């Protein structure tokens, strides 16, 4: 059950970005340890330690733990080409109130 009333949710924005060519890599779920979906950050927080310390790509796609076919892209602000990200669209991200209990 949500902890925040729907009318107190922050205003989220949805951005569409254009990334430099060949600047991303996707991690496949089969390449992750079996515990990667557990709700315990102490086990999984080290999985990206190498990329965080020395990013070889600007964007790293990781499997979504809540949407089996989804991918979350993480952008590394210290990567040398981070400044070349281009915002091509921005709009409000509205969460359907039917997903929130009152």
The pairing of strands 12-18 and 86-93 is antiparallel
Give the per-residue pLDDT at 8. Answer: 85
Q: What are the extents of the domains in the chain?
A: 6-99
Q: pTM score, two decimals?
A: 0.78
Residues lower than pLDDT 70 in the chain? 1-2, 39-44, 101-102
Q: Is the dihedral of CA 95, 3, 61, 64 positive or negative?
A: negative
Give the per-residue pLDDT at 96. Answer: 86
């Amino acid at each position: 059950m949500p902890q925040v009333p729907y009318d107190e949710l922050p205003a989220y924005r949805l951005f569409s970005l254009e990334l430099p060519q060949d600047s991303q890599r996707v991690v496949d779920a089969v390449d992750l340890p079996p515990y990667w979906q557990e709700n315990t950050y102490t086990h999984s927080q080290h999985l990206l330690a190498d990329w965080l310390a020395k990013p070889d790509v600007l964007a790293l796609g990781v499997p979504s733990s809540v949407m089996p076919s989804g991918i979350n892209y993480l952008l590394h602000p210290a990567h040398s080409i981070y400044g070349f990200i281009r915002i091509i669209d921005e709009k409000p991200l509205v969460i359907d109130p039917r997903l929130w209990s009152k």
